[in-house]
Structures are given as structure tokens and as C-alpha cells.
Amino acid sequence: MRIAIVESGGKQYRAVEGSTIDVDRLAYEVGKKFDFERVLLMADGDVVMVGTPTVGEITVSATVVDHVKGPKVTSFKYRPKKRIRVKGGHRHFYTRLMIDFIGKAGEERKVEAKKEVAAVVEVETDQAAEEPKVEKQKKASTKTAVKKSAAPKPASKSSATKKTDKK
């Protein structure tokens, strides 16, 4: 698994091949592919390349997946005894990027092998998820049978005894 530290919009992001990252809004259309200009670090297992300040021969290519809005952030300014209350807020715009390739420009690598393994794992988890549901239904039916056979609860105290307790 190759990992790179890239810079976009004055911020640094950890990019992993085959995963997505959210960066500040970029002026690219959905589906557009591009390369990051500033790659600060690249790690592949035990091999680590650190730039001074950038690693020149390494490219990180990404595809724009979507433009999304971040969570709502509210700000509230309050000054006591002065009747000053200002409420404001915003939602930041982000661009979701899929990291396609990390490596040298002429190098050819296949990242799809990871995706196939992930698909096999998802299929196995779907089958495993169905089995516990059947077991839960069986357990639920045994619990109802136990409740029906249990002895009835004793009656609560009458209202007359409650009134005497309060005095």
C-alpha cells in the first residue's frame, strides 16, 4: 500500500491509493483527472521518500468524485448586560477525490487487486450478516414462551395504604 502526503490549498492531506479524501473546493468538474503539484512524502512499505520540500519524481493522480458540503458550523457571540447576541454560521464546500495512482510517472501498477479482494470480503460479510438474523428470530420465539409460562406478578398496594403512608 502506497501512502503519500500531498498539499492542496495550503493544507496537507494523507493520500492512500484506492481511497478518497476531502479537500477544499477545487475548480474541476466531476470525473476530471489531475495530478497533485506538491507531493511532500511517499511511503511504500519500508521505502520512504521525503522531499526537501517536495519529491520531484513522484506523481499522485486523482479523480474528482463529487463536490460536497461539510457539516454546519454555528458561531454565537454574546456580551452579557449589553444586549449583544449575534448568531451566524456557514457550511464549507469540499471536493471529494479518489486517489488513483501514487508513483513515478512512467511506472505501471494495478490497484484493482485491492478492490477485488474488498468485493470478496463484502460478499462474505453479507452472507454472515444473514445468519445471525435467523438465530435472533429463534431466540425471540423462545423468550415469548418463557414469559407466558412465568407466574403472574403480585398485585400492587391499594390506594388506601398509600394515603396512610404519606401521613
75-88 confidence digits (pLDDT tens):
999 999 999 999 99
Q: Is the pLDDT of residue 139 over 70?
A: no
pLDDT at residue 1, as a whole number: 86
Say yes or no: 118 and 100 in one domain.
no
Is 163 contained in some domain? no
Q: What residues have CB less than 8 Å from 51, skipping those under 6 apart?
A: 39, 40, 41
The domain boundary residue, chosen from 108, 131, 158: 108
Say yes or no: 134 and 82 in one domain.
no
**pTM exceeds cut of 0.85:** no
Say yes or no: 32 and 81 in one domain.
yes
C-alpha cell at 36: 497533485
Say yes or no: 62 and 86 in one domain.
yes
pLDDT at residue 160, as a whole number: 54
121 or 60, which is more confident: 60
Say yes or no: 37 and 54 in one domain.
yes
Q: Is the pLDDT of residue 15 over 80?
A: yes
CA 80 to centroid of chain Cα atoms: 39
Is 81 contained in some domain? yes
Domain count, the chain: 2
C-alpha cell at 40: 511532500
- pLDDT (tens digit per residue) in 87-127: 999 999 999 999 999 988 877 766 554 444 444 445 555 55
Which helix (DSSP H) or strand (DSSP E) does residue 128 occupy?
A: helix 112-149
Say yes or no: 43 and 115 in one domain.
no
C-alpha cell at 92: 464549507
Task: Give the sheet arrangement for strand 58-79, strand by strand.
Answer: 20-24, 84-104, 58-79, 33-35
Say yes or no: 96 and 21 in one domain.
yes
Mean pLDDT of 115-143: 50
In whole angstroms, how large is the CA radius of gyration of the chain?
A: 30
The residue range of the domain holding 80 is: 2-108
Say yes or no: 56 and 96 in one domain.
yes
Q: Is the pLDDT of residue 40 over 90?
A: yes
Say yes or no: 90 and 21 in one domain.
yes
- Please state, rounded to an integer, the average pLDDT across all residues of the chain: 79
Mean pLDDT of 51-73: 93
Please name which of 14, 12, 10, 8 lies closest in space to residue 28, comparing C-alpha atoms.
Answer: 8
Say yes or no: 75 and 58 in one domain.
yes
Is 154 contained in some domain? no
Is 118 contained in some domain? yes
User: Is 91 within 8 Å of 71 (Cβ atoms)?
Assistant: yes
pLDDT at residue 117, as a whole number: 43
Is 159 contained in some domain? no
Say yes or no: 10 and 77 in one domain.
yes
pLDDT at residue 114, as a whole number: 47
Say yes or no: 75 and 99 in one domain.
yes
Please name which of 25, 53, 23 lies closest in space to residue 41, comparing C-alpha atoms.
Answer: 53
11 or 139, which is more confident: 11
